Chains A and B, each alone.
Chain A
């Protein structure tokens, strides 16, 4: 009887041996294995993403002509307003450039915009990240900022041949310097510990005492541009709660992030033209 029980424990013994073996494997081998695994599975991830796109395409094909005409009209209107905004921006940018040269200020980093489809989303209590369908093949560098229409998405943390991993700003691993809109003092923003399907949030520190924000009177937190990674003025979220820190010097609080971070399909990677 005891021998039989011993036979039954073989799988556990095997598992134990494998775990111990894995622990003893050198870090370089582990890193190589992990990268190789990612590269091997990347085509499947990308293929699944394309299949999802195809499914969406056929779903859209089912719309009636009148719906498409209405959508096209709305799109044309949007395009017209965007066109106007682009012209205004061009004017403002030339004015900023003129003032920069007058005041001899260092200009902000210029970026190349690389649009990418989201291939996979990983949300858990441990990490908040997405995999995008562009990588080294499009010259994306690690650390590049990623944005979408609602503001900042996060930063590229891993680059692979065909894909890249983007750590979302809702991840506790991401920290950046923001400012309250209209203010110039830097505030530390960091992703919070977010539940898997809960609304994304973050925390702020070093908030000056004269800034007041509440759920009913939230303050918009934007990138400062001072850190040199993100251009200034991109939305991070809304500060919805502040409380006095123990040192009495600053406040700390909570930031509500854009809920669309959980359902992103398309993002833009800002690739610095002259990396530091």
Chain B
């Protein structure tokens, strides 16, 4: 017993000793363990305390989804608050996929069990079964719609897959563009709690169809919805399709017209299905309204006057530069772009060239309308005076070694003064005036009137293809010498001179005000101060002669048809100038520019119409002046409150 106790004591004493011995290897292990634990605790602390924001964001990005809904676009009005562009609706039936989670799961199991029950060894993979169950279930809902509407629609499996993968939180469109009857049937027959719901999507509507088509422009659907200050920029975002302006005012003022996007932020489960209610929700806001300077009454008159001809008419408020009319033919029905233009519509427009806004981007030689500029240049430089017959018109004039005709048929003007030269559009007078003035001076005068610059109107795509030639230009562009014949051509707006109808309208308004520039605008600003630019610099007598000549054009000259009883506007004196521009090898252009009333100008107009047969004379007085006269008639009738409503807007319905 004693022996045992002693042995035990010894052995226990040995153990104690061995522990008290502080084995260095074990001590080292303690330190290592402690260091490792410290590292772990430190790492944990670092991750949990310092990177809490990072993980919080990552968790948020993983669990939350944002839906952006574009705001409706703002309306566009004419200066009298007639609606030019508004919003209409298209009814569609949508399926809320995010409400089908449980059904999809059941469908998945059912299909898988069917495969197993039939003993099929080739059971599809999980993802294949998932796609099959999606298509089957959605087609079942589609069949409900088919039964109600007596149709036989089929699901586009690819589109559905794409939608599930990319836009699960957005409803899937089964049918779009429903008519009233179909909409009513669905409203009445679909259960209120069904994932199928009738929805009205905004679509752009143009009550006047093709009127001012190039100016108003069109929109196209896109996904570029700006979130603005809606939170959740870092979240995965689904965007309901919106629209953006692609041409005309719709494009230029896209940022103004675009509404403020609304949206919702949802928490989602791992499969991406939303968990109600939304964490954040905001209704979209409508875009701002745009009041244009256009007058739809005058616009319709101008377009009716142009009819099926290819051409353009621009009317400008002389004082403010506000564009009252901007018509361009051929045009297109804007409602055919809503929601998007079909291939047939685009093909037809390509064929007719209807895309081009001739008012802004139709560059033509201005023909005899340019004689007004030549007159101003010559008067200012003292090359001519109102009361000097600088040349005798015998029908032809030799310039250099070529005979240049006066476009007066077989007659001649004889000794002719400035007033008559303008009124009767005597080419011989202007050949001589141009030669006396020199081409550099005429070109400088044209540049003074901004003929070499874009007008800066609020429309996209204004081109800079205008040409004001002079000897330096010809040498630079054509590597050729300038001949006196070039000066003769330039003096009457032929040769290489090329300007747009908008430029001519602005020029006319400038002449009417006695200034060198008119800045055109498509915005209506009631009460805005009249434009003020540098004075032309003519003496009173010179200006009087110029205006008398221009008025003579419409009373006894090349546009005397406007003085016919049927066309005359009682009490209104019109100053105008016709032009017939020859484009070698192409159709001629009939021009007419005018302003009225002469004594206190209010409206300036430029009309250019392309002839339909190459080489055929196409007189401005015959083809262009009546269109301008129709605009003036309507303008003054409205001013005097004697105008009847012209054409009610079309009731456009999708």
B187 A186 Cβ-Cβ under 8 A: yes
Output the least CB separation between B559 and chain A (Å). 45
Q: Does B177 contact A (CB under 8 A)?
A: no
Q: Does B189 contact A (CB under 8 A)?
A: yes
Q: Which of A48-56, A59-67, A172-180 contacts B (4 or more CB under 8 A)?
A: A172-180
Q: Does A190 contact B (CB under 8 A)?
A: yes
Q: Can you list 6 A-B pairs, Cβ within 8 angstroms, ordered by A?
A: A186-B187, A224-B184, A227-B185, A246-B283, A247-B284, A249-B87
Chain A residue at minimum C-beta to C-beta distance from B283: A246
Give bound CA distance, A250 to B286, whole Å.
Answer: 13
Size category of the binding interface on chain A: 20 to 34
Chain B residue at minimum C-beta to C-beta distance from A244: B286
B185 A188 Cβ-Cβ under 8 A: no
A186 B183 Cβ-Cβ under 8 A: yes
A229 B283 Cβ-Cβ under 8 A: no
Among B72, B89, B187, point to the contact of A176 (Cβ < 8 A): B187
Q: Does B180 contact A (CB under 8 A)?
A: yes
Question: Which residues of A have CB within 8 Å of B88?
Answer: 249
Give bound CA distance, A111 to B373, whole Å.
Answer: 81
Give bound CA distance, A249 to B87, whole Å.
Answer: 7
Contact with B along A172-199 (1 / 0, CB 8 A): 1111110000001110101000000000
Q: Does A11 contact B (CB under 8 A)?
A: no
- Which residues of B194-235 have CB atoms within 8 Å of chain A's CB atoms? 198, 200, 202
Give A residues with C-beta under 8 Å from B.
172-177, 184-186, 188, 190, 206, 224, 226-230, 246-250
Give bound CA distance, A190 to B190, whole Å.
Answer: 12
Q: Does B557 contact A (CB under 8 A)?
A: no
B188 A173 Cβ-Cβ under 8 A: no
A226 B192 Cβ-Cβ under 8 A: no
Give bound CA distance, A176 to B185, whole Å.
Answer: 8
Output the least CB separation between B554 and chain A (Å). 44
Across the A-B interface, give the 6 residue pairs with the lowest CB-CB distance, nearest first.
A227-B188, A226-B184, A177-B184, A246-B283, A186-B184, A227-B184
Contact with A along B172-187 (1 / 0, CB 8 A): 0000000011011101
Chain B residue at minimum C-beta to C-beta distance from A174: B192
Inter-chain pairs besides A175-B192, A226-B184, A248-B87, 9 sampled, C-beta below 8 Å: A172-B192, A175-B190, A188-B187, A188-B198, A206-B200, A227-B184, A228-B188, A229-B188, A247-B200
Output the least CB separation between A179 and chain B (Å). 9
Size category of the binding interface on chain B: 20 to 34
B192 A173 Cβ-Cβ under 8 A: yes
Question: Which residues of A have CB within 8 Å of B189?
Answer: 227-229
Output the least CB separation between B653 and chain A (Å). 9
Q: Does B395 contact A (CB under 8 A)?
A: no
Give bound CA distance, A176 to B184, whole Å.
Answer: 7
B192 A190 Cβ-Cβ under 8 A: yes
Output the least CB separation between A180 and chain B (Å). 13
Output the least CB separation between A177 and chain B (Å). 3
Q: Does B601 contact A (CB under 8 A)?
A: no
Output the least CB separation between B228 and chain A (Å). 15
Question: Which residues of B have CB within 8 Å of A176?
Answer: 187-188
Known pairs A249-B72, A249-B89, A250-B89; A185 contacts B180 (CB<8 A): yes
A249 B202 Cβ-Cβ under 8 A: yes
A250 B200 Cβ-Cβ under 8 A: yes
Give bound CA distance, A173 to B191, whole Å.
Answer: 8
A247 B180 Cβ-Cβ under 8 A: no
Give bound CA distance, A17 to B72, whole Å.
Answer: 55
Output the least CB separation between B101 and chain A (Å). 19
Give bound CA distance, A177 to B182, whole Å.
Answer: 11
Q: Does B262 contact A (CB under 8 A)?
A: yes
Question: Which residues of A have CB within 8 Å of B286?
Answer: 248
Chain A residue at minimum C-beta to C-beta distance from B70: A247
Give bound CA distance, A18 to B183, whole Å.
Answer: 46
Chain B residue at minimum C-beta to C-beta distance from A185: B180
Give bound CA distance, A175 to B188, whole Å.
Answer: 6
Question: Which residues of B have CB within 8 Å of A248?
Answer: 72, 87, 202, 286
Question: Which residues of B have CB within 8 Å of A247?
Answer: 72, 200, 202, 284
